[in-house]
Amino acid sequence: MTNREKAKDILYSQGFTCVFTDGENTYTSTRRGVSPLLYRYDSGVNYSGWSAADKVIGRGAAFMYILLGIKDIYVKVISQPALQLLESHNIQVEYDRLVPAIRNRDNTGFCPIESCVRDVADSDLDGALARIRKRTAQLAQGK
């Protein structure tokens, strides 16, 4: 079983929202959105070469996975812009469903995190991170 298959199996069998594994170590989360990815990024752990599994990836989450150094990922639902971004950074992606864009949780519009990085260049990782941090802070304040 590959590390990506292991991450996928853990994602489904144990009800997590995202899973990271290098084969020996595994980190999981039940938190939604990009918050578990920001947490992992801020932890200082080097995830270069790890595999991941996630339920939903939009362009904002794709930027985070690139920043984390993930080498391959399984995702249940991914947006077209996120898939293109990950592939442009040579991250192998297995997915179940490809959609034009990720909708917000109320299904009344688009995901605020995907929207905030819509026009960020694929190579501007620092710019994307700054926008993601700013938008998550606004969302936490109810804005």
What CATH number does residue 39 fall under?
3.40.140.30
**Domain coverage including residue 57:** 3-140
The whole-angstrom separation of Cα 28 and Cα 130 is 24
Q: How far apart are CA 135 and CA 124, in angstroms?
A: 17
pLDDT level of residue 90 (50, 70, 90 thresholds): very high
Question: Rounded distance, CA 44 to CA 38, Å?
Answer: 11
Query: CA of 63: how far to CAs of 50, 112, 115, in Å?
Result: 15, 14, 13
Please tell me whether residue 58 adopts helix, strand or coil conformation.
coil
Per-residue confidence (pLDDT) for residue 142, from 0 to 100? 80
pTM to 2 decimal places? 0.95
pLDDT digits (tens, 9 = 90+) for 105-135: 888 888 999 999 999 999 999 999 999 999 9
Q: How many domains does the chain have?
A: 1
